[in-house]
Amino acid sequence: MGIFRIFGKKPAREEAVETDATAAKKTRSKAPSTVTGNVQDDEAQTHSLTEKKHIARATERKIDAIEFEMSRDMGRPKSLSKPKPTVPEEPRKRTETQQFHSDFVAPEFQSTIALNIPVTDLMVGHTEIHVSTLTQSESVPILEEAAILFATGQNQVAEQMLRSVIEQDNLGTATPIAWFMLFDFYQIERNQIAFDSLSLDYAGKYETSPPVWRDVEAPIVKEEKAGQAKATPSLNFPAQLDGDIIKSLQKLKTMSEQSQLLKLDFGRVKMVDPIGCGLLLRAMRKLQKTKHDLIVVGAQNLTEQIRSILQVGRRDETEAPWLLLLEILQLLQLKEAFEESSIDYCVTFEVSPPAFEAPLNKVTTAVAEPNQAQEVEDDRFMMPKSIDAKTDEVVNAIIDHAKNHDRIILDCAQLERVEFGASAQLLNGLVPIIGDQDKRIEFQDVNYLVMHLFNAMGLKNIGAIHPRKHS
pLDDT digits (tens, 9 = 90+) for 191-238: 999 999 999 999 888 888 888 888 754 444 434 443 344 467 889 999
pLDDT for the residue 232: 79
Q: How far apart, in whole angstroms, are the C-alpha atoms of residue 354 and residue 330?
A: 11
The pLDDT assigned to 164 comes to: 93
What pLDDT is stored for residue 51 in this prediction?
A: 64
Q: What is the mean pLDDT of residues 59-82?
A: 58
pLDDT in tens, 14-62: 444 444 445 444 444 444 444 445 545 666 666 566 666 666 666 777 6
pLDDT score for 85: 45
What per-residue confidence (pLDDT) applies to 122?
Answer: 30
Q: Answer whether residue 108 shows pLDDT above 60.
A: no
Q: What is the reported pLDDT for 138?
A: 59
Asked if residue 112 has pLDDT above 50, the reply is no
Please, what is the average pLDDT of the chain?
Answer: 74
Whether the per-residue pLDDT at 434 is higher than 90: the answer is no
DSSP output for 96-124: HHHHHHHT---SS---SS-TTS-GGG-EE
Mean pLDDT of 115-120: 31
Distance (Å, whole) CA 397 – CA 420: 20
The predicted pLDDT at position 380 comes to 81
Q: With CA atoms as reference, report the closest residue to 335 among 308, 359, 366.
A: 359
Residue 443 has pLDDT above 90, yes or no: yes
Return the pLDDT at 210: 87
Q: What is the pLDDT of residue 118?
A: 32
Percentage of the residues of the chain whose pLDDT score is greater than 70:
64
- Spell 10-47 as b/e; 16+ CB within 10 A means b: eeeeeeeeeeeeeeeeeeeeeeeeeeeeeeeeeeeeee
At residue 172, the pLDDT reads 85
Residue 345: phi and psi, rounded to 5, are -65, -45
- Indicate whether 281 pLDDT > 60: yes
Give the DSSP letter string of 136-201: TTS--HHHHHHHHHHHTT-HHHHHHHHHHHHHH--SGGGHHHHHHHHHHHHHHTT-HHHHHHHHHH
Among the four given CATH numbers 3.90.1150.10, 3.30.930.10, 3.30.750.24, 3.30.200.20, the one describing domain 373-467: 3.30.750.24
Task: State residue 389's pLDDT score.
Answer: 77
Domains of the chain, residue spans: 2-70, 89-218, 232-368, 373-467
| Cβ contact 195:210 at 8 Å | no
How far, CA to CA in Å, does 108 sit from each of 111, 155, 158, 307? 10, 13, 11, 78
Distance of CA 423 to the CA centre of its chain: 24
Instruction: Please determine, for residue 89, whether its predicted confidence score (pLDDT) is greater than 60.
Output: no
For the purposes of burial, counting CB atoms within 10 Å of the CB of 402, is it exposed (0-12), middle (13-18) or buried (19 or more)? Answer: buried
What distance in Å separates the CA atoms of residue 421 and residue 429, rounded to the nearest whole number?
Answer: 13
Nearest to 326 by CA among 344, 314, 308: 344
| Average of per-residue pLDDT across 299-314 | 91
Helix (H, G, I), strand (E, B) or coil at 369: coil
Check pLDDT > 50 for residue 261.
Answer: yes
Residue 321 CA to residue 332 CA, distance in Å, equals 17
The pLDDT, as a whole number, for residue 47 is 59
Residue 109 in this model has a pLDDT that exceeds 90: no
Query: In angstroms, rounded to a whole number, what is the distance separating the alpha carbons of residues 343 and 350?
Result: 10
pLDDT tens-digit map of 357-396: 888 778 887 654 444 444 444 468 889 999 987 788 888 8
Q: Which of 297, 299, 293, 296 is nearest to 256 (CA)?
A: 293
- Give the Cα separation of 141 and 146 in Å (integer): 9
What angle (nearest 5°) sits at the alpha carbon of residue 52, between those of residues 46 and 58? 140
> pLDDT at residue 155 above 60?
yes
Whether the pLDDT of residue 287 is over 70: the answer is: yes
d(CA 216, CA 182): 19
